[in-house]
Structure 1
Amino acid sequence: MQAVTGGRTLRGALPLAVLVVLLTAGTGYAFDDTGKPKADGDGKGSTDPGGNLSAAAQGYRITYPTGAPKGGGKPLVSVDANWTPPPCWFGPKYTPEQFKAEYTKNFNDELPQVHGSFRTAMGQDLDHYQNGLDYPGDKGYKDFNTAEAGKGMWWVVTENPDADPMAQMSCNNNRPTWVPNGQLPPPTADHVITAEMLSKLAFAHTRVPGVQVVTNPAGRQTVNIPTWVTLREAYTPVKVRASVDLGGGREIWAETTAEPSGVHIDAGTRDATLFPSSGDCAIAPDGTVGAAYNGDPKADPPCGVTYRRSTQNIPPFPFDASVTWKISWTGSDGGPHQLPNGQVDDPRPVTVQEVQTINN
């Protein structure tokens, strides 16, 4: 959690114990919005008819150049187990009036819970933003800079709640800072939002079609009879754009493109023959995968499996179909650049029966 009081100033002016308490204060005394849509309908994180996330109080804006995902889509899972979106970042979020309202509310909520030197420290911090109290190297503000409305934004730390809690704290040496339109914060600021960070946030917001497998025959399969596999979805490129408005006609932005690069099926057992033998089914130019049964009992499916063993007296086979998406991005700093591939899949149990025939 990033406390309003900020890290760098307190480190120079207050005992370490004061700093620790303020940085671990209750959630009210913090700015930790994540840029994700809110569930309370308060206007923060609302969407327009195109499914684009509003920029209000979120710190960045998400848009979908290829259209909003139908039915919500399915989130991509990175194939790199070590890949994560940014745990936190420092960027523009509040107008003076918004910052004043948020700060004073959080201050008043937190004040009754602290005493002694901690209470004094909070009072000094309030004076810094409200009454012009100067800190070393940081001139104080009057009334949260409301006189400069429309000329800039308050930059604050945003934390990603899905990140490791300790990693979220890595941005906490930034205190809220007023930055004029079109400019960046002083070079001493850490974890300033970048196009690369935005590309990762865009990745985290990327939603692609799921994997709905259709088999012929439907339901239970039969030993030595080919199962024809098709996917309901059409897989075409998906673009997601994340941007931060710096004012003055300047922005930082990144646009990711997720392109379907392959579909792989796994029969869930070695006692099966895949079609094709690699299990890698082709994606047609129109984005479709597989084909419906053509009526020829001797034909091999372009995407499918023939089971050689039944599941009688054993658990069903864990059949799986996965789609891999290649992710690239361009942004305000150039490109294209690469991100780790993403995947979606659809594991499901398959029961296989054995049909006995009698020859006369």
Structure 2
Amino acid sequence: MTQPALSRRLASAAAGALVLISSGTAYANDTPTPTTPRPTKPAGGANANNIYASAAYSHIKVRQVSGPTGGRQGSLSSVDVNWKPPACWYEPVFSGDELKAFVDRTDGAGDVGIHQSWFGKGLWTDHYRDGKPEANFDDAWSMAPGYKNYNIGKNGYFWRSVAPDDQDPDSWQCGKIMFWQDADVVPKVPHAPTPKMLAEYAYNQIKVPDTEIELKPTTKSTVNVPTWVWLDKGRFQEIKVRAELPRTNLWAETTAKPVALHLDPGTEDASTLPASGNCTINDDGSIGTPWVKGDGGKIPPCGIKYLRATNGTPYQLKASITWQITWKGSDGSGGGLPDGTFETTQDMNVQEIQSVNR
């Protein structure tokens, strides 16, 4: 489904049927009525009430299970510019008792889908208590059968679509309003959660150490004299995060393993060592070789040679770590995801030693 298609549909007579209901107001998110201002959408970070009210928040739990912690950290960027984590999916939100309590507590104010909000208790009771059919927010405007007394007493959950970013056009692909699914069963609908989906979701939750490289000389390099570059093995270990979706028995572990350091000197008047600028990871997890006294005449396995002095304006040395991403899931599945990178920039001052002939 695309957002423009829905917008056109909502501009027709169907929009009036969706928006004006005697016992409340149903809003197609991003398309409010021209005469009635839309209430502010529930929002909030860790507030559990808001999480239940809004389809912008997921119940997926992500935690780091191994790897370094602390210090400055950042998120990975995929090397594949066309790849992105899932835009939307469905997940369990309420049992029957929980849905009734939510409707009573809020007097009917919340989302039944990513792009559909109901404000008015009667909207919820008509469909989820009294069995009235309601239209799904999909291309076909398919009808969702109603429920009796919130399915209280049955073993299962009401599932709702979720989108971390409801402005993403792909989030319109999850158009079913909140629906029932028996316990211990993942619904067979497009965009139902899978271990791979959880692994992709976890990708954006991985925090990697800041790429702060060690240099020798530490303060100012010299023209035509190699600058040694290396990274401490203790900070660059593989990182594993686990994503679990409660009430589904689904989980995935996503692992990020550092595999290379890439150097960009910040000027064409320089050469890298090796020439590609790619310094590989050593067997012990370190990158490059620390400079020690007596190495002045040697060529570093990882480094830079500047050919021109900075003359007051430092070069911007960029250092980026490539992280190889793999995953495994609760059903035995697994595989790879696009490599990720994390880049930092630091000033490089370069001096030129003048020699005097007598």
Fold match (TM-score > 0.5): yes
1:162-177 alignment to 2 at 5 Å?
164-171=167-174, 173-177=175-179
Letter in 2 for 1:167: D
Question: What is the Cα deviation at residue 342 of structure 1?
Answer: 0.3
Question: What is the Cα deviation at residue 201 of structure 1?
Answer: 0.3
Indicate yes or no: 2:21 matched with 1:23.
no
Encode CA deviations 1:177-217: one digit per residue, 9 max, x unaligned.
222211123x4x43211222111101111122220122111
**Who is 1:309 aligned against?**
308
Question: What is the Cα deviation at residue 119 of structure 1?
Answer: 9.2
Q: How many residues align?
A: 315
Output the aligned Cα RMSD: 3.4
TM-score norm. by structure 1 comes to: 0.75
Question: What is the Cα deviation at residue 39 of structure 1?
Answer: 4.4
**Who is 1:341 aligned against?**
339
Encode CA deviations 1:212-266: one digit per residue, 9 max, x unaligned.
122111122221222111224532222222222345xxx2222222121211112
Question: What is the Cα deviation at residue 137 of structure 1?
Answer: 5.9
Encode CA deviations 1:257-315: one digit per residue, 9 max, x unaligned.
212121111212232232222222131222222233222221122221121111126x4
Name structure 1 gaps, 5 residues minimum: 1-6, 46-56, 111-117
Name structure 2 gaps, 5 residues minimum: 1-5, 20-25, 33-37, 52-56, 111-116, 135-142
Cα distance in 2 for partners of 1:160, 1:58 equals: 8
- CA 1:160–1:222 in 2, change beyond 3 Å: closer, same or farther? same
Query: Secondary structure of 1:82's match?
Result: coil
Cα distance in 1 for partners of 2:39, 2:70 equals: 35
Q: 2:349 aligns with which of 328, 339, 351?
A: 351
Contact 1:183 1:246 in 2 (8 A): no
Q: Which moved more, 1:124-133 or 1:216-225?
A: 124-133
Contact 1:265 1:279 in 2 (8 A): yes
Cα distance in 1 for partners of 2:132, 2:237 equals: 56
Cα distance in 2 for partners of 1:257, 1:302 equals: 27
Cα distance in 1 for partners of 2:305, 2:41 equals: 61
- CA 1:334–1:353 in 2, change beyond 3 Å: closer, same or farther? same
**Who is 2:276 aligned against?**
278
Encode CA deviations 1:27-83: one digit per residue, 9 max, x unaligned.
7667xx8xxxx74566999xxxxxxxxxxx843222323157334732111011121
Cα distance in 2 for partners of 1:197, 1:327 equals: 14
Query: Secondary structure of 2:204's match?
Result: helix
Cα distance in 1 for partners of 2:109, 2:179 equals: 22
Contact 1:28 1:106 in 2 (8 A): no
Identity, % of aligned positions: 30
Q: 1:181 aligns with which of 159, 180, 183?
A: 183
- As a proportion of its length, which structure holds more helix? 1
Contact 1:29 1:106 in 2 (8 A): no
Letter in 1 for 2:263: I
Cα distance in 1 for partners of 2:92, 2:118 equals: 28
**Who is 2:139 aligned against?**
none
Contact 1:258 1:327 in 2 (8 A): yes
- As a proportion of its length, which structure holds more strand? 2
Cα distance in 2 for partners of 1:103, 1:203 equals: 34
**Who is 2:238 aligned against?**
237
Query: Secondary structure of 2:191's match?
Result: coil
Question: What is the Cα deviation at residue 16 of structure 1?
Answer: 3.3
- CA 1:217–1:67 in 2, change beyond 3 Å: closer, same or farther? closer
